[in-house]
Amino acid sequence: MSSTVSALPGAYDLVLKGARVIDPATGTDGILDVAVSEGKIAAVGPDLPCPPGATRLDLAGAIVTPGLIDTHAHIYEHVTGDFGLNADLVGVRSGVTTVVDQGGPSALTFNGFRQFVVAPAQTRVFCFISTYLAGGLLGHRYVDLYGPSGINVAAIVKTARDNPRLVKGIKAHAEPGGFSRWGIESLRLAKQAGRELGLPVYVHLGTLWPQKEGASVDPQTIIEQVVPLLDAGDVLAHPFTRYPSGFVNADGTIHPLVYEALAKGVTIDVGRGAHFSFDNARAVLAAGILPTTLGADLHGYNVKMPDGGRWYRGMFTNTAEMEPPEDASLPFSTPYGVHHAMSELIALGVTLPQVVAMATSNAAKLLRMEDRIGALKPGMDADISVFRVLKGEWTLRDSNGVEVVAHQLLHPERVVRMGRVIEVDSPLLPDLDQLAA
């Protein structure tokens, strides 16, 4: 299926020629051209003319999709310390046109996020505002800041209402460390704000903080308390986490409350991160549960940067434990991103159109932006991703050291952001030689 509009050929500024165009929102999957005019999609169809003066990109063998949307990133650079990455390194320079910061800015720090992250970025940037007044300071390491006393519902609501273009939801946590201290109260307050605003709450599952000394929480009981609080449109993140309190029970079965959540209209975000497990991903997919969206969960504690790299230090309250040991190593031998997370799912049997839908049309619906992004419909913003499917043998590794050999690897090439072509050059992208099996 393809769609073509009756636009004057002379109006085209840019024409992408001869790629396989995959656009789940319109059901398009075929060798087609895409034309752009004044920052908008002008036409999608076969053999579109390229008028004099227009830029022509010959993309035979490439894949063209709506601009990819990373629904889980940490890009509040500097304010969140090493945790926060540069928005454009995660975004357009990695082949992604839209990035959603999950819980970096808070009601107390939002003005800085808008001024120093959103404003200078070439990438389209949104956020799910933190439940906590502390936001993502130093990657949530100081656990005592994240209890109910550090939550102000009125402040969350006011900030979101003052910034409706940027705030697309609320970020919260449901994990053993927090539950050992405060039970479900922090999540309950997040839901109070979300319901008042009519915005979704994005819930982190899987261990984040160590449990309180002397306390003990059965991780499998957490989801039993969480699901009754959730509404249609809320998001459960990290379905493939290697930690307890996620989707997969200790015996490898899927927690029955997951199906109840899905029946309520709750969605699922991959949130790949530094605790991704191939074994748990297989269990979830085998149960017929397919994530809705595909956030990479990139942050400065789990990727190697040119200045020598970061170390996934965990979330500690004891300052003596904050610095890595001399022999510290990263949880992954290479960096990663949305394309890498897509490749991992394809290696597990998910189809290319399915993973493209997660990162385009489904993500746009989560953001309530499907009228502007996430599709290649004429008149929509010209946000486009271009990547190639590399054939061969590639070794993919999870946070437990489990390896999977993939025969397809998605590798970004360039993006078009509001009609402007940007080449991919991010140091966050994997080294292909290191991945070669």
Residues 232 and 349 both lie in one domain: yes
* Residue 402, domain extent: 9-66+376-435
Interval 357-371: pLDDT, tens:
999 999 999 999 999
CA distance 333 to 435: 9
- Distance from the first to the final alpha carbon of the chain: 37
Q: How far is CA 17 from CA 40, 42, 276, 350, in A?
A: 17, 14, 37, 27
Domain boundary among 336, 363, 390: 363
Length of the chain: 437
Residue 8's pLDDT is what? Answer: 53
Percent residues over pLDDT 70 in the chain: 90
Q: Is residue 1 part of a domain?
A: no
Cα–chain center distance at 151: 24
Helix orientation angle between 278-286 and 338-347, rounded to the nearest 10 degrees? 60
- Mark whether 139 and 282 lie in a shared domain: yes
Same domain, 243 and 293: yes
Beta bridge pairs of residue 267: 235
Structure tokens at 159: 């900030």
Between CA 383 and CA 376 the distance in angstroms is 8
Note whether residue 212 is domain-resident. Answer: yes
pLDDT at 324 over 50: no
Identify whether 334 is part of a domain.
yes
Instruction: Please report which helix (H) or strand (E) contains residue 230, including its range.
Output: none
Q: Report the CATH number at residue 158.
A: 3.20.20.140
The letter for the amino acid at 195 is R
Q: Per the domain annotation, does 76 fall within a domain?
A: yes
Query: Is the C-alpha dihedral spanning 94, 100, 104, 109 positive or negative?
Result: positive
Is residue 419 helix, strand or coil?
Answer: coil
- Would 4 be classed as within a structural domain? no
Say if pTM beats, i.e. exceeds, 0.85. Answer: yes
pLDDT in tens, 164-185: 999 999 999 999 999 999 999 9
Q: Are residues 382 and 279 part of one domain?
A: no
pLDDT band at 10 (very low <50, low <70, confident <90, very high): low
> Are 296 and 316 contained in the same domain?
yes
Residues 287 and 417 grouped into a single domain? no
Which residue's structure tokens are 């022999």?
A: 327
Choose the final residue of a domain: 329, 363, 397. Answer: 363
Q: In CATH, what number is assigned to the domain containing residue 407? A: 2.30.40.10
Number of domains composing the chain: 2
Collapse the DSSP code of 350 into the 3-class scheme (helix H, G, I; strand E, B; otherwise coil) and give the result: coil
Token couple for 397: 């590794």
Distance in angstroms (rounded) separating the CA atoms of residues 177 and 213: 10
Residue 326, judged by CB atoms within 10 A of its CB (0-12, 13-18, 19+), counts as exposed
Could you count the other beta carbons within 10 Å of the beta carbon of residue 253? 11
Rounded Cα distance, 62 and 150, in Å: 48
Range name among 27-36, 53-62, 177-186, 208-217 with the lowest pLDDT average: 208-217
- Residue 342 predicted with pLDDT over 70: yes
175 lies in some domain: yes
- 322 within some domain: yes
Whether residues 32 and 108 fall in one domain? no
Among 303, 338, 363, give the residue marking a domain's end.
363
Same domain, 359 and 387: no
Residues 104, 135, single domain; the answer is yes
What residues form DSSP beta bridges with 22? Answer: 29
Whether pLDDT at 289 is above 80: yes
Query: Which secondary structure element, helix H or strand E, spans residue 52, and what is its range?
Result: none
Task: Enter the DSSP assignment of 76.
Answer: -
CB 204 within 8 A of CB 186: no
Tell me: do 303 and 329 sit in the same domain.
yes
Please name the residue ranges forming H helices in 53-184. Answer: 87-90, 110-113, 153-162, 176-182
Whole-number average pLDDT of the chain: 90
pLDDT recorded at residue 319: 36
The model's pLDDT over 126-160, given as tens digits with 9 standing for 90+, comes to 999 999 999 999 888 889 999 999 999 999 999 99
* pLDDT tens profile 372-402: 999 999 999 999 999 999 999 999 999 888 9
User: Is the residue at 43 inside a domain?
Assistant: yes
Sign of the dihedral defined by the CA atoms of residues 367, 370, 374, 379, in that order: negative
Residue 120: pLDDT over 80 = yes
**Cα-atom radius of gyration of the chain, to the nearest Å?**
21
Say if residue 402 is in the same domain as residue 334. Answer: no
Note whether 294 and 393 are same-domain residues.
no
Split at pLDDT 50, 70, 90, the class of 315 is very low
